[in-house]
Structure 1
Amino acid sequence: MIMAKDTPSMAKNKIKRCLWAIYDQHPKKSEVDSLWTYFESKCAYCGVEIERSSRTGHVDHLIPSAEGGSNSIHNHVLACARCNGDEKREEDWLTFLSKKSGKSSIFEQRRSNIEEWLSLMPPNGTNTALKSEVEKVVDKALKDFDSAVAQVRSLINVNDRG
């Protein structure tokens, strides 16, 4: 099996995600348990039953982090591997759900169930000043990383010339 090489851009992305995860923590096990219970071990999109021990159940962001979504458990749904891994991709959840279930009573039932789950999310108490400071720290860490990469490359180039 060939594994992907770690490139500077991959490392930079990992650094960014790791630092943000300190600020916006991933759901705890007890929260994931409540998600499985709420969705009755069924995919929120297609309704297929998911055996938890099979590891084919995904905890899927409704609003991706890249689009401003949080890691709150209530910004996640239970999704089967097929819906989350093979079909949904970059599509927003409501568009995907509409395509998956059609404009029918099944769509309305699943949409309502997901929206009810979303409504349980605590009000956005985001401290914008704190978030802004975290953004500055993350930006600085990424710039420092870029500088370190440039320094290493420079050292290699100087060494190759000598």
Structure 2
Amino acid sequence: MAKDTPSIAKNKIKRSLSAILDPHPSTKEVTMLWAYFENSCVYCDLKMERKSRIGHLDHVVAQADGGNNSISNYVLSCAKCNGDEKREMDWLLFLNQKSDNADILATRKLKIENWLKKNTNVNFEATDIEEAEKIIAVALAQFDESVKAMRSLRVKIT
């Protein structure tokens, strides 16, 4: 079992605070996604069971590139496509590489584009993002100070 280190905890703090502003999809929304994509990988059409660990929710636009956690910014992908092959690649470029048949490519592309049009999530202003980043930076700095204090206490008692 993995142990939480201060660096893992910092990452969890950052993700947890970010999720307050941009929450992850609800169970109901995830169910809608699975139904829309007919339990199949959008890239290779592999049929998947939801209870298996093969199905992944793949950000279409990565958060690092300004994407959000709206359910319509995710597609259903198999573990191989999302984890092993696509990685950080643009979804359309990857879809083009996966599709040998022009008709299949067009059908899959249209399905993704229609899903993306459903995006009703709030678009954050640059100032909102800056303010959130400042709040997170303060929390992480306070955490770093707490880690230092705990390490000093440990040295004192050992």
Same fold by TM-score greater than 0.5: yes
Measured at CA, do residues 30 and 135 of structure 1 come closer, stay the same or move farther in structure 2, by a change above 3 Å?
same
Q: Structure 1 residue aligned with 2:97, among 92, 96, 99?
A: 99
Show the 5 A alignment for 1:129-144.
129-144=127-142
Q: Structure 1 residue aligned with 2:87, among 86, 89, 107?
A: 89
Matched with 2:9 is 11
Q: Which stretch of structure 1 is more off in the superposition, 3-12 or 133-142? A: 3-12
Equivalent residues of 2:70, 2:121 under 8 A apart: no
Q: Structure 1 residue aligned with 2:30, among 32, 37, 54?
A: 32
- SS of 1:53's equivalent in the other structure is coil
- SS of 1:52's equivalent in the other structure is coil
**What are the Cα deviations for residues 87-127 of structure 1, in whole angstroms up to 9, with x where unaligned?**
22222212221221147222222112111111111264435
| TM-score normalised by the chain length of structure 1 | 0.84
- SS of 2:56's equivalent in the other structure is strand
Matched with 1:149 is 147
Instruction: Give the superposed CA RMSD.
Output: 2.1
Matched with 1:57 is 55
Show the 5 A alignment for 1:94-133.
94-102=92-100, 104-122=102-120, 124-126=122-124, 128-133=126-131
Measured at CA, do residues 123 and 60 of structure 1 come closer, stay the same or move farther in structure 2, by a change above 3 Å?
closer
- SS of 2:75's equivalent in the other structure is strand
Show the 5 A alignment for 1:70-81.
70-81=68-79
Distance 2:63 2:123 in 1: 17
Distance 1:19 1:49 in 2: 35
Equivalent residues of 2:30, 2:71 under 8 A apart: yes
Ranges in structure 2 where 5+ consecutive residues have no aligned partner: none
Distance 1:145 1:35 in 2: 37
Letter of the aligned partner of 1:134 in structure 2?
A
Ranges in structure 1 where 5+ consecutive residues have no aligned partner: none
Identity of aligned residues (%): 51
Moved over 6 A (4+): none
| TM-score normalised by the chain length of structure 2 | 0.86
Matched length: 158
